[in-house]
Structure 1
């Protein structure tokens, strides 16, 4: 049996360290001397070295205790710590880009940018944008499945290693989606307003396919034109209001979409976050509207 000092010497640590782990139940003593002093057996050296190895990884004492009691707990603890470290690194990269943004801007821009950045949590959360879209879609009474699909497509994830410009775009998106829209006109798209006659669930189901087809054309760098993407786009609107796809319908749809307020600013900022390799739904919508305008303008020409 070794005293606390002898164990500390053999393990290469201080007496204070041995006492600390003993007091927290990580290093139980084997027995006590007649004078009440702690005594440890040879196995305590290996246990103490294992504790020190785990602690060098910054594992909390409760997690170390779990691993010592159950070896299979190591995998879960490591996975959780990796997630925590990843979140910390993301926060640091975000702060670095935000500081660079403030450092490199003009003095007259600094106060406004600081206000925008200060309103965003670190690491940044997409929850406000998701709430914005759910409020936007709520009046349409869409199925939960469809709402989730639209929100997943519409809400951009913050980059893992953002550039300063992307931090600014995300901060502006946060400001846009948390601002009160009362007093600025209709907050909902025309397809959600009952007087237009659209069946929103039918419309959104069809638009998803049309946007995917248009995105493929955009990635191929093709300008707006007639074809499958435009036909699918018009068909979605026609089915949504129980109409037929005719030249007259297309002409009326072009005028209606041109007058329908869209959140172009949202999609523009989203495009800055995602980059040109991933067209947004807003960009696909604009491409299709441009194709529709070309189609409806030809008879007049």
Structure 2
């Protein structure tokens, strides 16, 4: 049975015209994607033009990997083709990023020497997903910089916290996994808080103001670090001390400068390792780590701690 002459075709003829199997067409009928009528003999019959056009569209969308839910939404007019294709593209981006991360992790373990392999395997197994590792870094800095409002942190996080590479190399995936492991190290949170807020952070009256003043200062120190200027006395160091003094309701003095060095954690090897790895991932961008350490070195070189 083919064309009835009334614009209706049998399922066999529809299969021939659309390039789909009879079994697939029956499945689409059962799923509500395609409508049919019944002949006097009980056979499925289809409108020749609309059914063929509909099935060709379904076949093409399926070739792009779209699911039946998305295709049904298009056929019902609930979503446009552009919308479902954009959604599928975004989904594939996420999937490919995950696969790229796994590929780099597998190669990192494969390339490790026998003595390193077990340690590297443990490191990478703990950071199976780049997005999750990035979230750990963000939460770490949110705790460090609290109670600064989240709205004030966005630029800071963008500039200083590397995004997981979309297609990481072996070195990049290892570096990122190590960063995630570092922020989970016991005691690092308190060490970095001490470095950032300095001596007796509980005495700070205006933490938000201190954050803003130091942030502006660090931006001005970036060119000095980039140019290789040695840490020194001068306006940058004075601004650093005055920012901390003002936030505590005090004034700059030799005694206060000595206090800023009390219990300093700036030489903690974990902090230096963190910023070294960050620099490896961000490239030539100068982050807050080297600039903050430049000010610390300037303070050490110009402060008499023997008093």
Q: Shared fold (TM-score greater than 0.5)?
A: yes
Q: Name the structure 1 match of 2:144.
A: 136
C-alpha distance in 2 between matches for 1:220 and 1:92: 39
Match of 1:161 among 150, 161, 167: 167
Map of 1:173 onto structure 2? 179
> TM-score with structure 1 length normalisation?
0.84
Report if the CA contact (8 A) 1:198-1:241 is conserved.
yes
Contact (CA 8 Å) 2:258, 2:303: kept in 1 or not? no
The aligned counterpart of 1:95 is 102
- 1:236 aligned partner: 243
Q: How far apart are the structure 2 equivalents of 1:26 and 1:185?
A: 59
SS in 1 for 2:32: coil
Counterparts of 1:234 and 1:194, CA distance in 2? 14
Q: 2:217 is matched with which residue?
A: 210
Q: Does structure 2 conserve the Cα–Cα contact (< 8 Å) formed by 1:254 and 1:293?
A: no
Instruction: Tell me whether 1:39 sits opposite 2:76 in the alignment.
Output: no
The one-character-per-residue Cα deviations of 1:80-138 (angstroms, maximum 9, x if unpaired) are 21111111221222122212211221111101110110111334421222222233334
Secondary structure (helix, strand or coil) at the match of 2:183 reads helix
RMSD between aligned residues:
2.9
In structure 2, distance between residues paired with 1:192 and 1:253: 9
How far 1:21 sits from its partner (Å)? 1.5
Post-superposition CA distance 1:32-60 (Å, at most 9, x none): 10122111112211111111010000001
Q: Is the 8 A contact 1:90 1:161 kept in 2?
A: yes
More moved, 111-120 vs 224-233 = 224-233
In 2, are the aligned partners of 1:173 and 1:269 still within 8 Å (CA)? yes
**2:197 pairs with 1:189:** no
Contact 2:194 2:201 in 1 (8 A): no
Q: Aligned partners of 1:84 and 1:285: how far apart in 2? A: 39
Pair 1:281-2:303 in alignment? no
Shift of 1:251: 4.2
Query: Would the alpha carbon gap of residues 256 and 145 (structure 1) be closer, same or farther in structure 2, given more than 3 Å must change?
Result: farther
Equivalent residues, number: 292
Cα 1:134–1:167 shift into 2, 3 Å = same
2:115 is the alignment partner of 1:115? no
8 Å CA contact retained: 1:3, 1:40: yes
Tell me the CA shift for residue 11 of structure 1. 1.4
SS of the aligned residue for 1:59 comes to coil
Name the structure 2 match of 1:255: 261
Extract unaligned runs of 5+ from structure 1: none
Contact 1:254-1:296 within 8 A present in 2 as well: no
